[in-house]
Chain A
Amino acid sequence: DAGVTQSPTHLIKTRGQQVTLRCSPISGHKSVSWYQQVLGQGPQFIFQYYEKEERGRGNFPDRFSARQFPNYSSELNVNALLLGDSALYLCASSLWAGTGGPTYEQYFGPGTRLTVT
């Protein structure tokens, strides 16, 4: 079975530009989360989506946005890129049991390496 897939693998952008990253979850998983991992640190939570709705948001500026499609794939958009946005962007998928229900483990994709120059 295919795991979480992400595209592109690598990306180089210039300050001020905009970028869109894509993620396809594991088949049967309806929840997608996005994380930013700066070199030498653990991943930081950006967003979680379920059924096309935002279910959670981390401490990131409004330049970061995301959406989920009917097939449960997702896109992460970052506007007005800064040098500090250079990082590995990870997508994770999981099952969902609803608010208040049991939590399920998250499985990560290989990530998209974004370099901002």
Chain B
Amino acid sequence: GQQLNQSPQSMFIQEGEDVSMNCTSSSIFNTWLWYKQDPGEGPVLLIALYKAGELTSNGRLTAQFGITRKDSFLNISASIPSDVGIYFCAGQGAQKLVFGQGTRLTINP
């Protein structure tokens, strides 16, 4: 099935470092969403973006909707142990979500 290109696939960082991940698509989306998924759980919505060029923050998380509507990035500042998990980008069009492959974040204390 269709998927977005999400990178990097995995990250190993030290606690306190900043994190950056991005997502690209060959298709245009009207909405971009970022989710976090812990083992054995469903994805939890972190940030939703609705306008091209929009920059939105949620605590230590900041995400941007690319101006071409074909990409988005997520930044996490000053990482903490509970940030560990898998982060998914998703493009929403016609009520259907298309997901990236995920970025697995591991934090060394």
Contacts and interface: CB of A to CB of B under 8 A. Distances in A.
Interface of A: 4, 31, 33, 35, 41-45, 48, 55-56, 58-59, 90, 92, 94, 96, 103, 105-111, 113
Closest 9 CB pairs of A and B: A42-B99, A108-B42, A105-B48, A44-B1, A45-B96, A108-B43, A110-B42, A111-B42, A43-B99
A96 B95 CA distance: 9
Interface string B61-74: 00000000000000
A33 B97 contact: yes
Interface of B: 1, 3-4, 6, 30-31, 33, 35, 40-45, 48, 88, 90, 92-102
Contacts of A41: 3, 101-102
B27 to A, nearest CB: 14
Contacts of B40: 110, 113
A35 B97 contact: yes
Given A103-B30, A110-B41, A42 B96 contact: no
B95 A48 contact: yes
Contacts of B93: 103
A46 B79 CA distance: 34
Given A42-B88, A59-B1, A103-B31, A90 B98 contact: no
Interface centre among B6, B48, B97, B102 (most CB of A within 10 A): B97
